[in-house]
Amino acid sequence: MKVFVDTWGWLVLADPKDPFHSQAVLYYEECSKDSGRIFTSDFVLDETFTLMFRRRPYKEALHFCSGLLQSPFIRIESVTEPRFLKTFELRKRFSDKPLISFTDLSSMTIMSELKVTDILTGDAHFSHIGLGFRILPGR
């Protein structure tokens, strides 16, 4: 099973006080048994790092973010120019959903390309757009 981890997922994994933390950790541990099954993107990490350094003490944020970058289990996908352009096409396609961020749309582009259907997120719009994504942990 492959999973894409959204900003929400990383923040929940980093916060033991979050009500979804235990579920997210169990799911993440299951996926990390084999490398190459956990995906995220540079755009997602941009959001994650920004929020981590705003919300957590510096040393804690640095430790968590460094761990993400050094993990052998996480594949960081780049939003290349072709992916950016495909994402812009999604933005136009979902003109009736202006609250979906460009970062989330870029995640959808990457997930579709890599045939990843599971996403560790709290954003319901991943399941509302009809692209076959499954939100984890189950809500």
In angstroms, rounded to a whole number, what is the distance separating the alpha carbons of residues 106 and 87?
5
pTM of the model: 0.93
Boundaries of domain holding 57: 3-136
Q: Give pLDDT, residue 96.
A: 93
Q: Give pLDDT, residue 35.
A: 67
Q: What is the largest CA-CA distance in the chain?
A: 41
CATH of the domain at 45: 3.40.50.1010
In angstroms, rounded to a whole number, what is the distance separating the alpha carbons of residues 137 and 139?
6
Q: Give pLDDT, residue 33.
A: 79
What mean pLDDT, rounded, does the chain reach? 93
Using alpha carbons, list the distances in angstroms from residue 131 to 6, 7, 29, 109. Answer: 16, 19, 26, 10
- Tell which residue, 109, 110, 139, has the closest CA to residue 124: 139
Q: What is the pLDDT of residues 55-106, one digit of tens each?
A: 999 999 999 999 999 998 899 999 999 999 999 999 999 999 999 999 999 9
Q: Give pLDDT, residue 119.
A: 95
Give the count of domains, the chain.
1
